Amino acid sequence: MIIPKNKNFQKNETSRTKDDEIKEKSVIRSMIPIIGTIVVLIVAIGITDIFFK
């Protein structure tokens, strides 16, 4: 059990920065549609406020 844990630990240490960069990029890409929907909702609410006033 100890040897594979050490091997995995070394692999994680060497590829940690690349994995973090990939995770950050994927998080940003997954946040873009959420931000887009929020912006669309705000714009839609603003347009409805203008039309119904």
The pTM is what?
A: 0.45
Segment 1-52, tens digit of pLDDT: 455 555 555 555 555 567 788 888 888 888 888 999 999 999 999 999 888 8
Give φ, ψ of 15 to 5 degrees. -100, 20
The residue with tokens 């960069």 is 21
CA distance 43 to 24: 28
Q: Which of 37, 38, 15, 18 is nearest to 26 (CA)?
A: 18
Give pLDDT, residue 13: 52
Q: What is the largest CA-CA distance in the chain?
A: 71
Q: What is the pLDDT of residue 41?
A: 96
- d(Cα 26, Cα 12) in Å, to the nearest integer? 19
Whole-number pLDDT of residue 44: 93
pLDDT for 29? 85
